[in-house]
Copies of this chain bind each other. A is one copy, B any other.
Amino acid sequence: MTAPLESVERLDADDPLRHFRTDFALRDGLIYLDGNSLGAMPKAALARMDTALRREWSEGLITSWLDADWVNAPRRVGDKIARLIGANAGEVIAADSTSVNIFKALTAALSLRPGRKVLLTETTNFPTDHYMMQGIAGFAGGTIESCAVPPEAVLDRLDDDVAVLLLTQVHYKTGRIHDMADITRRAHDVGALVIWDLSHSTGAIEVDLNAANADFAVGCGYKFLNGGPGAPAYIFAAERHHGARPVLSGWFGHARPFAFDEDYTAADGIERFLCGTPPVLGLTALECGVDIMLRADMRDIRRKSVALSALFIEQMESRCGEFGFALISPRDSDVRGSQVAFAHPEGYAIMQALKARGVIGDFRAPDVMRFGLTPLYQRYSDVTDTVEHLRQICDHREWDRAEYRIPAAVT
């Protein structure tokens, strides 16, 4: 794709998603390219949270668990997220953090594959995926092994020792997309289960879990779903796996939480993947973000995402080619998620200089500049303006300032 500058206005004018930008509260002049780290705030969240505070908490108090349907919020929000990822109602539930949900999915998968000892992932997966695996292996004291192999070796490592393969579908740094259906099939061929971490997928690319015959998935509420800082995450379990046993058997996962039995009896459905009392305020904000996403057509989102990232790459190469940016995202848009990443030795400092100019992207150690593309509230002009800022920053070595040096905490 090529997009001469003069056509950018036309692209924005013709954008079928352009009206969605008004659903978000974004300050004038800001170019925000970090929605894959923390999504923008839906304007509706202000009124909805005010209702949650004034009417539900303050006035309704304890009666709001039923009267304001708090008790079903994890399932209600989960059912909505299900529609974005090719899952059925009753297969997704929202609560807890992504890390905690990874733990539930890993232990649930282990319960379905007794005797198998390997938890498998790829070396460059997002750290918390590794860490949760390592925590389980450490606790199991030799009976479970946490195994990470290079991305290209994953399929070869699959054998009948592998209980579960945990992969992030869209890579957090590069944006590379895994072929969910193919990898799931290959894992199933050796009897292994697969957990898909959809943190950078949901709301960003088209996902069809059931078409891929997926087993489990988890994902993040505060990125492309625009659910707010530290929003609850969600977990998907295919209906055929609703007999699995996640170790985190808290009272909200019980078949009859309010019977106060002393013995745990897991709920029949997806509710068994709940644990403690759900985070009502967080779920309330998350639902606002999910509701906007449901009004858009995921195919339009994906089309615009591809167009934005292609424009970004084309502009960077034509206008910033001499400054040493190395594209580390796939060039092929079929396997590129909703972000573009470039490595640059001065990546950290350049990102600080961009921020000073009102452009926010983010940085991932050691040298990756990551730009998230969020079709609901970004314009094509945001991309071309960003590249122009980068050109000027590099042209004038604007990044070469003491206050932009990378702090030790980040290295």
Residues of B within 8 A of A99 (CB): 248, 250-252, 275-277
CA gap between A263 and B275 in the complex, in Å: 27
Q: List 26 A–B pairs whose Cβ atoms lie within 8 Å, in order of A's numbering.
A: A26-B58, A32-B61, A37-B62, A41-B53, A49-B53, A97-B276, A99-B248, A100-B100, A103-B247, A107-B139, A110-B139, A127-B257, A127-B261, A127-B262, A130-B263, A131-B250, A132-B248, A132-B249, A148-B262, A228-B280, A228-B281, A230-B278, A231-B279, A232-B279, A260-B364, A281-B285
9 additional contacts (CB under 8 A) given A45-B53, A99-B276, A127-B260? A96-B97, A96-B276, A99-B277, A100-B250, A127-B262, A130-B262, A132-B249, A132-B250, A148-B262
Which 3 pairs between the two chains have the least Cβ-Cβ distance? Answer: A97-B276, A99-B250, A99-B276
Most buried by B among A46, A261, A277, A283: A277
Residues of B within 8 A of A285 (CB): 281
Tell me, rounded to whole Å, the shortest Cβ–Cβ distance linking A363 to chain B.
9
Q: How large is the interface on A (under 10, 10 to 19, 20 to 34, 35 or more residues)?
A: 35 or more
Q: How many copies does the complex hold?
A: 2
Interface string of A371-411 (1 = CB under 8 A from B): 00000000000000000000000000000000000000111
A229 within 8 A of B: yes
Contact A57 B280 (CB under 8 A): no
A positions within 8 Å CB-CB of B:
25-27, 30, 32, 34, 37-38, 40-41, 45-46, 49-50, 53-54, 56-59, 61-65, 70, 96-100, 103, 107, 110, 123-128, 130-132, 134-136, 138-139, 148, 220, 222, 228-233, 245-254, 256-264, 275-283, 285, 355, 360, 362, 364-365, 409-411
